[in-house]
Chain A
Amino acid sequence: MTDLTNLGVKAIRDGVAAGDFTAREVAEGFNANVAAAADLNAFIVTTPEHALAAADAVDAKRAKGEELGVMAGVPIGMKDLFATRGVQTSAASAILEGFKPEYESTVSQKLWDAGAGMLGKLNLDQFAMGSSNETSHFGNVANPWKANDGGNAVLAPGGSSGGSSAAVAARLAPAATGTDTGGSIRQPAAFTGISGIKPTYGRCSRWGIVAFASSLDQAGPMARSVEDCAVMLGAMAGFDPKDSTSLDAPVPDWAGALNADLRGKKVGIPKEYRMDGTDAEILASWDDGIAWLKDAGAEVVDVSLPHTKYALPAYYIVAPAEASSNLARYDGVRYGLRDLPEGAGLQDMYAATRAAGFGPEVKRRIMLGTYVLSAGFYDAYYTQAMKVRTLIQRDFNEAFETCDVILAPTTPTAAFPLGDKLDDPLAMYLNDVFSVPASLAGLPAMSVPSRLNAKGLPLGLQLVGKAMDEQMVLNAGLAIEQRSGFDAQPEKWW
């Protein structure tokens, strides 16, 4: 029998439905891979019993001839930012260690309702703040990929969905949930040779997702193929009255409508993304992508996004501002850590609790946000950033008058060694230079693998679509996937 853990979402679902294997066999296979991969530190908590129970429920339904859901029999990893009833939900922070929600997030509930099971809660950057998964209270995640340069450096899996990317790349899970605030699905997907899509803002409910920057946060799937992403996104998306920004729009059958024939479509190439000093291999990968989309029948046109260089500075005002407000709730009163020094009053308890519970990057962003929102600075920083955000969205709207989808690199470099950028927050932030603009504009965006660089590390290509047009993004992603021939896997060392 083939190794079931090499199968993706759709192959597992269809195989279970056809009776080629049972959901329990699949869950047992992935549970075993998870248990054997402690070196990657991809999971904060493992829940093999949850995966088995969900699998048994699917097998029982099949035996009775009942209809199976679109994720039936597929065990997945759940980023530890989604509230899961009775299972620790920590956001990778000490301040939430031990927190076991009494409720289930909308997105995770929809996945369980569709027949998926949970292998465990995946590691991430603390409160999703980071690009290398080095800010987690529960330790770094290791990228399963290693460079072929003879060095043995452990590389960053990207962030903030670093546990998700590592787990999917290493075959610990066929797919995982991610969340993307400024690139946290796309950048880790690119660093590990997998696919991931952030849908239009509002497609997936934020209810029950630990909030970082509410006007940017959006959940999405990470998997090893475009089709698997489309299937899983269909199970995650949908209107939710419990999230006031949830889009009240029907969820299209993205997987059913996948079509890599791009004749009559126009692909925009934004000239501002061709920045000075960009890695030559990244540019070569971009050129490959252009050629592949042309081969799929698309016409390639130049477009301009003139405010691109201002996206990152605007993001580093908007996101910390929202974080400083959202994270005010961690006060040692209602849940999570409490640090009450001897004889301390309420205010001292707040300050001590937050000092002990938050990591340095989280403190940095809360304080930065507090500063840009403070009296006297609000207009110069926050209002100006929100005006620039309007301009960035306008740039995209104008570009989409002449094209249907935009193609760009996902990241400026391949995966870097852990520790490389840890002492320089600004250098770390620059990782997201290509992914942040689409986040600020609320647009659907996807990363698909393109090739290995000279060091044997995967590179990703990014597709950005019009609001609500995930289908075009997925179709262009599929056209690239069919032509890149990317089937490389990391060599097992863990």
Chain B
Amino acid sequence: MDRHQRDREFEEFVAASWPRLRRAAYLLAHDTHDAEDLVQSALARCYAGWGRIRADSAYAYVHRALVNGYIDSTRRRTPVPVDHTTADEPAPGSPTDDADQRSELVELLAPLSPRERSIVVWRYYLDASEQDVAHELGVSVGTVKSTASRALARLRSAHTTTSLTSSQEHR
């Protein structure tokens, strides 16, 4: 495969996978810059091995690279070279910042440890099987199930508390 064909295939893959992949990175890192670095790094690795990865297995590869990159970064506080903003960096609240919107899922993941967050994002957002997630992260299938369950319980509890508080404030 020549370079042009490889680049074209890769560009098509990035175009198709980017929105969800970039969001997954934000769900993991909860930080715009870290998310950008994580996903750029995972995709760069993917490009480096494109000859053997190819489009059919690229999703699984890049998902694994993304989650592993995130876990590594939390283990070792990987220094992050900032190569993603320019002198014209947008101010907070600009459209670029808005691209990483808060959501219920972000709230759900916020209090979780990096490993728990990885489990939920990989299993539910990136749609991997419980067995695959358990295998890749070296945990039991039961842990994958219970992690998501605990996170949901916490979210429901927070919602209940918020609802109660707001209803009391309205009285």
Question: Is B one of A's binding partners?
Answer: no
